[in-house]
Amino acid sequence: MNLIAEIFDVAWRFRAVFFEGMLGTLQLASITVFFGTLLGALVALLRMSRSKILSTVAKLYIDIIRGTPMLVQLYIFYMFVPQMIPALKALNLPEYFYIVLSLVVNSAAYVSEIIRSGIQAVDKGQTEAARSLGMSASHCMTRIILPQAIKNILPALGNEFIMMVKETSLASTFYVNELMRTKIILQSTYFITWQSLFVIAIIYYVLTTILSKLVSLLERRLAVGD
Amino acid sequence: MTRPLIETINLKKNFGSLEVLKGVSEKIYPGEVVTILGPSGSGKSTFLRCLNLLEEPTSGQVIFEGTDITDKKVNLDQHRQKIGMVFQHFNVFPHLSVLENITITPILEKKVSKADAEEKAMKLLKMVGLDDKVNEYPRKLSGGQKQRLAIVRALAMEPDVMLFDEPTSALDPEMVKDVLDVIKKLADDGMTCVIVTHEMGFAKQVSDRVIFMDEGIIQEQGTPEEVFDHPKNPRTIEFLSKVLY
């Protein structure tokens, strides 16, 4: 009983710190998924391109990113990329940029596969019908395939956002302001050790629960059209 | 003699090591109604799909209105606008209304004005008895209605020939007649039609010429009377004995 009271006490006393951390997490996840979607769409296009070279490069990118731990990628982007690429070093960008870049590069690999499978899930007969009418390949994609694929893609993107809310906790290792970082702040400033962990866990849980409810709501909305 | 509308020259198609078409040379003339019969796997659907290059032939040529459309340099989209196709599974666009299904391609690709495209679509819908469904979405339509929509969607492009790939095979029996009536009306109005079908009675009634395909080649062809009543090729005889009751 005492322990639970202690957790709630910490949660209440440092609510502003936790709240700020939560906003940091949501901001990081939003930026990541937004730019990850843009980059992911591009990668998906390359992956589906007729050019063997482009599609192989895209596949390699996807495989490497998905086949290595995010933490390793973060370290590489945090330590290696800014130091080893002179053009970037000259720009003297903040560390936050490299963390976001790493998250975006990671997310794009997953998003590109979401987009690709969303597109490929649309019945092949739709493409055949459009092309047999004499519709151009680009019109077929933008007017026939994508509007249908979006129903598969949007909920999956929502799930990717939920994943990112949790994954961004790794960024705390690099002094990025997000929810997990509050643990370190509270520990070093107020000697709060274990209590904050439970508060953080609860906040993550509440966030992801609300978000997945929203995703299934969206899913049902989109399914109405079928 | 008039120029054929479509001519295939030694058309071959392999799927991996499987030879589906083993060299088909055939001519379709303007105004002709040609039905293609044959057991499944005979290559008849593949042949039809090669005519508008939905299936890219492994070798051979498809000459449409004097142009070799297998040539990579031709603008295939423009030629396809003149070749309507109707599929077994309708392939109507589920995210577009009945009206939009018909008007989207003329507006996008032929730069027809929206008003003109819609006026034309209304006429076509009236012709197939779907004018009360203009603003519905395809999910509200029966199979037969979807197929009639697919037919007028193709007609809206004002094609010179219509290809039908087993247009009634996925329909409930009571829907078949409505669709066949529409095809018959087109044929009677002089539309060039190439029809792959299993509806023997219909083929007999509507065709100028019947082609029997098996094992990737044309085994026999002739008028409906010749093929149905006096088949010569043993394969045709065997096939007909199995499908005609």
Which tens digit of pLDDT belongs to each residue from B149-199?
Answer: 999 999 999 999 999 999 999 999 889 999 999 999 999 999 999 999 999
pLDDT at residue B49 is higher than 80: yes
ipTM above 0.90 for this complex = yes
User: What domain range includes position A172?
Assistant: 2-224
Measured between CB atoms, does B157 come within 8 Å of chain A?
Answer: yes
Instruction: Identify the residue among B48, B92, B108, B160 best suited for mutation to test binding to A, counting A beta carbons within 10 A and taking the highest.
Output: B108
Which residue of A126, A132, A226 is in closest CB contact with B139? A226
Confidence band for A11, pLDDT divided at 50, 70 and 90: confident
Interchain proximity B85–A132, CB inside 8 Å? yes
Q: CB-based contacts of A146: which residues, under 8 Å, 6+ apart?
A: A119
Half-sphere exposure (Cβ direction) of A173: Cα atoms closer than 13 Å: 16
Q: Give me the pLDDT at residue A1, please.
A: 60
pLDDT at residue A220 is higher than 90: no
pLDDT in tens, A131-154: 999 999 999 999 999 999 998 899
Distance, in angstroms, between B89 CA and closest chain A CA?
8
Strands B59-64, B192-196: parallel, antiparallel or unpaired by DSSP? unpaired
Measured between beta carbons, which residues in chain A are less than 8 angstroms from residue B54?
128, 131-132
Beta bridge partners of A99: none
pLDDT in tens, B213-244: 999 999 999 999 999 999 999 999 999 998 87
**Which residue stretches of A49-179 are H helix?**
52-67, 70-75, 81-84, 86-91, 95-120, 124-132, 137-139, 146-167
Interchain proximity A144–B154, CB inside 8 Å? no
Q: What percent of chain B has pLDDT over 90?
A: 94
Measured between CB atoms, does B139 come within 8 Å of chain A?
Answer: yes
Q: What percent of chain A has pLDDT over 90?
A: 64
Q: Which residue of A has its CA nearest to B103?
A: A133
pLDDT in tens, A145-180: 999 999 889 999 999 999 999 999 988 888 888 888
Measured between CB atoms, does B87 come within 8 Å of chain A?
Answer: yes
Q: Give me the pLDDT at residue A226, please.
A: 54
* Token pair recorded at residue A129: 């019908």
pLDDT in tens, B91-102: 999 999 999 999
What's the rounded Cα separation, in Å, for the pair B161 and B79? 11
Q: Give me the pLDDT at residue A224, please.
A: 66
Number of domains in chain A: 1
CATH number at residue A24: 1.10.3720.10
Which residue of A131, A134, A144 is in closest CB contact with B93? A144
Name the pTM for this structure: 0.84
Measured between CB atoms, does B108 come within 8 Å of chain A?
Answer: yes
Q: What is the mean pLDDT of residues A64-77?
A: 94
Half-sphere exposure (Cβ direction) of A48: Cα atoms closer than 13 Å: 15
Interchain proximity B157–A135, CB inside 8 Å? no
Interchain proximity B84–A148, CB inside 8 Å? no
- The helix/strand/coil state of A92 is coil
The strand order across the sheet containing B18-28 reads: B18-28, B6-15, B59-64, B67-68
Measured between CB atoms, does A154 come within 8 Å of chain B?
Answer: no
